């Protein structure tokens, strides 16, 4: 059974370090010079806890090489527009932005691969890992878009950390259906219809969670729903039929935006989780420079098992 094997942990790094930054006060984690390291400490402690509790033999961190890919914006111009600081740059707190390069140095010293792919978001890297790496795969994220990756048959789960790593929701298809009323395979279609303000996706006017779930369960995905609109015996209420017909072009554009890519060309990487840091001296130097000794020790102890 695949669920008895050690998993690959595919970690949504931005999701976790944003959570760490906002969850730990800046004044509670600083260097002797007053530089905040709350995101780094919190992220390292999350990774250590995941290793201790999930017992992976592989671990990969996905990054946003393109947090708002041009091809998604071309399809839905409002996509993440409200989160733009200027031009195409994401609005990120300055105190967090300075910590990310150090965090990546720590991961490199430990020997945990962390990468993004130009033109794609971390979600797409995670989706490709889930689709191509040997099962079981456990995707770690606080992004509910990734519920679509859950696949009981393949052995892909989402460890949803919407309430933090210490309160993970270990999502299989039954949990997705319990939370949203739709199978995981139709989650992207459901999301395209009901919309998602956090991503700038307006959805179909007048179609909320319950209506979107009812449509998916009766007809299938967006393509099947739109095809059924021309069938007079399909059972649509006249008002709903009109709303969906008016939204046909939007749905055709929104669905590929909502769907996570599964075929991104990934760089070469070794997912094997080391039992000890790849570069122990470098990790010690980083820990001393950035006041990370406690978190570094917990991470090294977790690796040793």
Determine whether domain 184-258 maps to CATH 1.10.150.20.
yes
Instruction: Express each pLDDT in 263-285 by its tens digit.
Output: 999 999 999 999 999 999 999 99
Domain with CATH 3.40.50.1010 in the chain: 2-181+263-293
Predicted confidence (pLDDT) per residue in 105-140, tens digit: 999 999 999 999 999 999 999 999 999 999 999 999
Given a contact cutoff of 8 angstroms between Cβ atoms, the answer to whether 159 and 168 are in contact is yes
- pLDDT of 86 higher than 70: no
pTM beyond 0.85, yes or no:
yes
Residue 41 has pLDDT above 80, yes or no: yes
> How does 178-200 read in b/e, with b if 16+ C-beta sit within 10 Å?
eebebbbbbbbbbbbbbbbeebb
Q: Please, which pLDDT band fits residue 90 given cuts at 50, 70 and 90?
A: confident
Handedness of CA 51, 155, 124, 184 (dihedral sign): negative
Delimit the CATH 1.10.150.20 region(s) of the chain. 184-258
Q: What percent of the chain has pLDDT over 90?
A: 89
The pLDDT tens digits for 151-179 are 999 999 999 998 888 889 999 999 999 99
Task: Evaluate if residue 55 carries a pLDDT over 50.
Answer: yes
pLDDT value of position 2: 42
Please compute the mean of the pLDDT values over residues 23-27 and round it to a whole number. 91
In the predicted structure, residue 56 carries a pLDDT above the cut 70: yes
Task: Inform me whether the pLDDT recorded for 150 exceeds 60.
Answer: yes
CA–CA separation, 77 and 86 (whole Å): 15
- pLDDT of residue 89 exceeding 80, the answer is no
Cβ pair 24, 40 in contact under 8 A: no
Through-space distance between the first and last CA atoms of the chain, rounded to whole angstroms = 23
Q: Is 210 exposed, middle or buried (0-12, 13-18, 19+ CB in 10 A)?
A: exposed
Residue 88: per-residue pLDDT: 66
For residue 20, the model assigns a pLDDT of: 96
Mean pLDDT computed over every residue of the chain: 94
* Fold adopted by 2-181+263-293: Rossmann fold (3.40.50)
pLDDT band at 103 (very low <50, low <70, confident <90, very high): very high
What pLDDT, on a 0 to 100 scale, did the predictor assign at position 165?
87
**pLDDT greater than 80 at residue 37:** yes
């Amino acid at each position: 059974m695949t669920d008895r094997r050690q998993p690959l942990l595919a970690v949504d790094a931005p999701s976790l370090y944003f959570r760490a930054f906002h969850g730990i006060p800046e004044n509670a984690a600083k260097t002797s010079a007053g530089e905040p390291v709350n995101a780094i400490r919190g992220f390292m402690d999350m990774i250590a806890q995941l290793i201790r509790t999930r017992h992976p033999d592989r671990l990969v961190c996905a990054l946003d090489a393109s947090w708002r890919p041009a091809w998604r914006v071309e399809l839905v111009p409002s996509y993440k527009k409200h989160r733009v600081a200027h031009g195409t740059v994401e609005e990120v707190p300055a105190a967090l932005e300075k910590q990310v390069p150090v965090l990546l140095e720590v991961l490199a010293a430990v020997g945990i691969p962390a990468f993004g792919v130009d033109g794609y978001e971390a979600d797409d890297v995670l989706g490709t890992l889930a689709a191509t790496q040997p099962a079981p795969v456990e995707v770690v994220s606080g992004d509910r878009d990734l519920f679509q990756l859950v696949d009981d048959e393949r052995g892909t789960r989402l460890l949803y950390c919407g309430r933090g790593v210490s309160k993970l929701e270990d999502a299989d298809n039954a949990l997705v259906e319990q939370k949203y009323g739709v199978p995981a395979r139709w989650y992207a279609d459901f999301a395209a219809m009901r919309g998602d303000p956090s991503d700038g996706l307006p959805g179909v006017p007048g179609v909320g969670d319950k209506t979107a779930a009812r449509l998916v369960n009766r007809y299938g995905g967006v393509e099947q729903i739109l095809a059924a609109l021309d069938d007079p015996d399909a059972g649509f209420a006249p008002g709903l039929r009109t709303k969906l017909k008016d939204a046909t072009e939007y749905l055709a554009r929104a669905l590929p935006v909502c769907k996570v890519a599964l075929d991104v060309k990934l760089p070469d990487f070794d997912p094997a989780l080391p039992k000890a840091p790849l570069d122990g001296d470098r990790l010690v130097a980083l820990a001393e420079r950035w006041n990370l000794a406690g978190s570094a020790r917990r991470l090294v102890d977790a690796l040793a098992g």
